[in-house]
Amino acid sequence: MASYLPTTVLDFHNHIFPEKIAQNVIDSVKREEGFSPYGKGTVSGLREEMSLSGVKTCVVLAVAVSPSLVETTNRWVVSQRRDDLIPVGSIHPLFQDYKSEVRRLKEAGVKGIKFHSIFQNIHPDDERAFPLYEEIIQQDIF
């Protein structure tokens, strides 16, 4: 009988945070959103889970919760790139220098940008975000 299971498993949705803030983020989500995120929220915790579950590669996401955190968040998540971790950037929809940041992420090899309307406090259909969406389309990023 032929096996239809993939030989490589990719986990596409993993939020990671710097070790020094990960527990605070998880505690905040529990308190403010009323659910418990799975895992530790750290790179080391994700790698433990990958090893236990047979996942070979993970797409890793960070969220810039305010415009002032966009560049710092992206520098950190891009620095996590390894053969087994594929970073996705984050731009807060109200970040003023979004064109430069989209280009910088693309030049760094980032293929996508994460939005999180709950934590960024803006609805996806807010017209103020439309110019950012257009730039992402023009730069051929998901």
Q: Which amino acid is at 5?
A: L
pLDDT (tens digit, 0 to 9) for every residue of the chain, 142 residues total?
Answer: 556 666 788 899 999 999 999 999 999 989 988 888 889 999 999 999 999 999 999 999 999 999 999 999 999 999 999 999 999 999 999 999 999 999 999 999 999 999 999 889 999 999 999 999 999 999 999 9
Residue 43's pLDDT is: 96
* Per-residue pLDDT, 2: 57
DSSP tag of 3: -
Q: How far apart, in whole angstroms, are the C-alpha atoms of residue 13 and residue 42?
A: 14
Q: What does the alpha-carbon distance between residue 99 and residue 53 come to, in Å, rounded to a whole number?
A: 38
